[in-house]
Amino acid sequence: MILHGYFRSSAAWRIRIALGLKGLEAQHVSHHLRKGEQRSDAYLKLNPQGLVPALETDDGAVLTQSLAIIEYLDTLKAEPRLIPADPIEAAKVRSFALAIACEIHPLQNLRVLKKLGAMGHDEAAVQGWAREVIADGLAALEIVASAEKGPFCFGDAPTLADICLVPQLGNARRFGVDLSAYPRLMAAEAACQALDAFAAATPDRQPDAE
């Protein structure tokens, strides 16, 4: 398999974690987002959205959108399960992950922040807005996770929820969000960081890290 990504992309970070948890290998190809390499003609033929990640499977299929890719990996190799078998628990895990992937992350990604700057908002206003979006989202997830048993977000093993949470907390730190208000989320992150799959997936350990 070939994973197209960028070391700082939290969506690509999710895929690196999932691959590690599953014990699967993929060749990593970097597309520098700040240089616009994801908008090259060659990459747009692969992924018309011009976003990372994209995964080329062993049989030549191209998959996009991180949560869809992770669900594919979960069917490709059954264990460890990243989405619970129980339908209620699976819905809870997906809901948590989607809150990050669809509600929090898109509003503070590079494309949106650059657009806000182009509309005349200064850097302080843009960064402040991103912090507010992240803090509000994490506050809701803190309540959700606090109702569940640990040490991970949903029980004694990492799931899709944790795979989305850890990169989002990494983003939160980059924007200067005070994470002390989210002790349950921080505890889940600590449990994740003790696992090799999470440690190896961090941006600073990627070949294209700057």
**Which has the closest alpha carbon to 200: 11, 5, 1, 23?**
23
Residue 66 has pLDDT above 90, yes or no: yes
Provide the residue ranges of all domains of the chain, joining segments of one domain with +: 2-80, 87-197
Write the pLDDT tens digit of every residue in 162-190: 999 999 999 999 999 999 999 999 999 99
CATH topology of domain 2-80: Glutaredoxin (3.40.30)
* 73-112 b/e (C-beta count within 10 Å ≥ 16 → b): bbeeeeeebbbbeeeeebebbbebbebbbeebbebbbeeb
Whether residue 99 contacts residue 107, with contact meaning beta carbons closer than 8 Å, is answered with no
Write the pLDDT tens digit of every residue in 76-133: 999 999 999 999 999 999 999 999 999 998 877 777 778 877 888 888 888 888 899 9
> For the chain, what is the mean pLDDT?
95
Residue 7 has pLDDT above 80, yes or no: yes
Write the pLDDT tens digit of every residue in 12-59: 999 999 999 999 999 999 999 989 999 999 999 999 999 999 999 999
- Specify the CATH number for 87-197; select among 1.20.1050.10, 1.20.1440.230, 3.40.50.2300, 3.40.50.150: 1.20.1050.10
Give how far the C-alpha of residue 84 lies from the chain's centroid of Cα atoms, to the nearest Å: 19
Question: Residue 74 and residue 80: Cα distance in Å, rounded?
Answer: 8
